[in-house]
Amino acid sequence: MTDEITMESSQTIAVGQLRAFIERIERLEEEKKTIGDDIKEVFAELKATGFDSKAVRTIIRLRKMEPHERQEEEAMVQLYMDALGMV
C-alpha cells in the first residue's frame, strides 16, 4: 500500500513538472513570435526610410561573427569570385 501511495505521489509530481515545462515553453514560443513580429516591423520601417534591408541583414549576420570568422568568410568569397573572373 505504501509503495502505491509513493508511486502515485511521484507520478503526480512528474505530471506537475511536465505541465510546468510545457506551459513555460508555450509562453516562450509566444514571446518569440511577438519578438519576431517586432523585428519584421523594424525592418519595414528601415525599408520605408530608404535603407536596403538585405544589406542590413548581412551586416547583422556579420556582426554576430568573430573577427577571424568574418575574415575567413570574406577571403573565401573573394577566392571564389576571383576563380569565376568576377571583379
Per-residue pLDDT of the chain (87 residues; tens, 9 = 90+): 555 556 677 677 789 999 999 999 999 999 999 999 999 999 999 999 999 999 999 999 999 999 999 999 999 999 999 999 998
Give me the amino acid identity at 10. Answer: S
Q: Where are the domains of the chain?
A: 1-51, 52-87
Task: Tell me the three cell numbers of residue 81.
Answer: 569570385
- How far, in Å, CA of 22 to CA of 16, rounded? 10
56: exposed, middle or buried (Cβ count in 10 Å: 0-12, 13-18, 19+): middle
For CA atoms 37, 42, 43, 49, the dihedral sign is: positive
Report the predicted TM-score, pTM, of the whole model to 2 decimal places: 0.69
